[in-house]
Chains A and B, each alone.
Chain A
Amino acid sequence: MTDTQTLVKELVNKHGNRRESLLPILQGIITNNRYISEYAMMEIANELDISRSEVYGTATFYSFLDTKPKGKYVIRVCKTITCSMKGKNQILLALEDCLKIKLNETTPDKKFTILETNCLGWCHKAPAMLINDDVFTELTPEMVHQIIEDYKKKGIQEKA
């Protein structure tokens, strides 16, 4: 069995093989792989006994369910009104400067992806961003540099 097959089997065992389990299963794939490959969608369709297009339809509807490869750390910068008023663009520039990539790109080492997202619900502490599930608020470009440095170190520690 391939890794993806094993992962899908595990998730189906955990959440069940009914249609209602589809979203938790897709979320599980994201937690592990950061994106849902076509192969994973096929495997899920087989396990739940529904058509592949149904799985594809659901997976592509939700903005957090990526279907294209992403880095290990997906950064989502809030672009909705308050964050945009309070300096979202400087935060994006700082990220692009730190990681030497543009918005919607992934670093060559597959570690970081920069994305924009809609309202994160931290308007009173704007600007805000998510890195995977972790929230960062009241950001400044200096803080962004520090946060990214920390994540880079984290990656090295995990390897060692």
Chain B
Amino acid sequence: MAKKQLRRMDLIFANDDDYVEILQRTFKSSNEDIIDEMISSGLKGRGGAGFPTGLKWKLTAESTSKKKYVICNADEGEPGTFKDREILTQVPYKVLTGMAVCAKVTGATEGFIYLRGEYKFLVPLLEKELKRFRIICKDLGLDFKVNIFLGSGAYICGEESALMESMEGKRGEPRNKPPFPTDSGYMGKPTVINNVETLAHTFTIFKYGAEKFRDLGVQDSRGSKLFSVSGDTPNPGIYELELGMTVQDFVDDFSDGDCKAVQVGGASGFLVPRKRFNETAIGYQGKLTGISLPTGGSMMLFNSSRSMYNVLNNYLEFFQEESCGQCTPCRVGCQQLVRGIDAVKRGQKPAAYLDKLLKLTDTMKVTAKCGLGQSVANSFQSIVENFREEMIY
């Protein structure tokens, strides 16, 4: 394997060997104080949806159930995302620290790392770390066991309720919400489920305090974020950057000089064309000026040699295959979109047919059961509206 290429900002990948100390210190605080600290840090879920992490912990802590779970979502399947693998390879103990503190404040006794099957090669490394972790938990007097659960190649299992179905030995089909996992998650018990990167960020909060974390980023988007950079760039890799930057800033740093569009947030995210680089910021929805895009951290650059038709077609085939098939808007919708753009390209349908397809994605947005079906509209609409001529000719 080639050598790692990481520019460090550098909080997440900093090799803090004082994590036992930090755990001991954090464990001395009361549960309420820890939750307050988490909420005031403004940390939001780094998987892409951006739910406030402190609130998630609080809701689960408030539940009176005797059995609770903590799950680390390492089913990183979004095209263009590979940061979680790197966190688990380099600083797995930060993730485990987050899980341990979460177990303490919520009263969970069992935890899982749901690792995607594609990353099975990480298992020996993680097992070694877990062995050390068990001893640390014992020393802290914490009754908490963490095990690895392997996925088997299904993108949809990154959706939290589908992930839990999968852990229960079923097809990975998303559940109806509510109830949310904080009330009824794995095995129907209250469950905290956090992304790998979110848990790693909690370590920064415990170490430096919520204030330092808040100092990073802007307004509603606090802290730093890992970005997985790929595509037409001379420097692909993983970079920790502050939230709130514009796409233009990003392109200035990473483009090969000929960037025509950036896909923010993977196949389920948005395509930003060159003319909108300046007005688009990367962060969670807030009072940022212009357009602001939440993201799981996937940034794919396309230069002018790329056909946006091929890009869209690749995404749509991806969704068509990865749709769980449970609800009709997503199952049939994805198939129709693949066929539809093909028919327009071949001239079998008039260009105006694209408008019908756009309407179909609007319908999918409101009627699909989970994030997969709902988010197909994001990339479809942003590509078709900005590169309509490439779809037709």
Contact = CB atoms under 8 A, between A and B. Distances in A.
Interface string A116-160: 011111111110001001110110000000000000000000000
A65 B150 CA distance: 12
**Can you list the 8 inter-chain pairs with the closest CB atoms, starting with the nearest?**
A22-B169, A124-B236, A64-B153, A123-B230, A62-B152, A63-B153, A61-B171, A64-B152
Contact of A61 (B118, B120, B154): B154
Given A27-B150, A27-B152, A82-B80, A125 B318 contact: no
B68 interface: no
A84 B314 contact: yes
Given A19-B168, A125-B236, A133 B120 contact: yes
A135 B121 contact: yes
Interface in B224-244: 228-232, 236-238
Contacts of B167: 20, 23
Contacts of A84: 310, 314
A26 B152 contact: yes
Nearest to A122: B82
Interface string A2-29: 0000000000000000111111101100
A119 B153 contact: no
Given A82-B80, A119-B78, A124 B150 contact: no
Interface in B44-97: 76-82, 85
Contacts of B149: 23-24
Contacts of A21: 169
Contacts of A104: none
B60 to A, nearest CB: 20
A120 B315 contact: no
B156 to A, nearest CB: 9
Given A22-B169, A80-B314, A134-B121, A126 B230 contact: yes
Given A23-B169, A58-B171, A81-B267, A124 B76 contact: no
A98 interface: no
A122 to B, nearest CB: 6
Given A61-B171, A133-B120, 16 more contacts: A19-B168, A23-B167, A62-B153, A64-B117, A65-B152, A80-B267, A80-B318, A81-B315, A118-B79, A121-B116, A122-B82, A123-B79, A123-B230, A123-B236, A133-B121, A134-B121
A124 B228 contact: yes
Contacts of A133: 120-121
A22 B120 CA distance: 18
A21 B166 CA distance: 10
B119 interface: yes
A120 B119 CA distance: 8
A118 B315 contact: no
Nearest to B84: A121
Interface in A55-110: 57-58, 61-65, 79-82, 84-85
Contact of B172 (A18, A26, A61, A85): A61
Interface residues of B, number: 52
Interface of A: 18-24, 26-27, 57-58, 61-65, 79-82, 84-85, 117-126, 130, 133-135, 137-138
A121 B81 contact: yes
B169 A19 contact: yes
Interface in B219-263: 228-232, 236-238, 263
B231 A121 contact: no
**Which interface residue of A118, A126, A137 has the most chain B CB atoms within 10 A?**
A118
A8 to B, nearest CB: 15
29 contacts: A20-B167, A20-B168, A23-B150, A23-B167, A24-B149, A57-B170, A61-B171, A61-B172, A62-B151, A63-B321, A79-B314, A80-B314, A81-B267, A81-B315, A82-B230, A84-B310, A118-B79, A118-B153, A120-B118, A121-B82, A121-B116, A121-B118, A121-B119, A123-B79, A123-B81, A123-B231, A124-B228, A125-B1, A130-B118
A120 B170 CA distance: 23
A29 B311 CA distance: 36
Nearest to A64: B153
Contact of B5 (A19, A124, A126, A137): A124
A81 B308 CA distance: 11
B306 interface: yes
Given A22-B169, A85-B306, A123 B153 contact: no
Given A61-B154, A81-B315, A138-B2, A123 B169 contact: no
B170 A58 contact: yes
Nearest to B154: A62
B322 interface: yes
B309 to A, nearest CB: 13
Given A80-B314, A123-B228, A63 B152 contact: yes
Interface in B309-335: 310-311, 314-315, 318, 321-322, 324
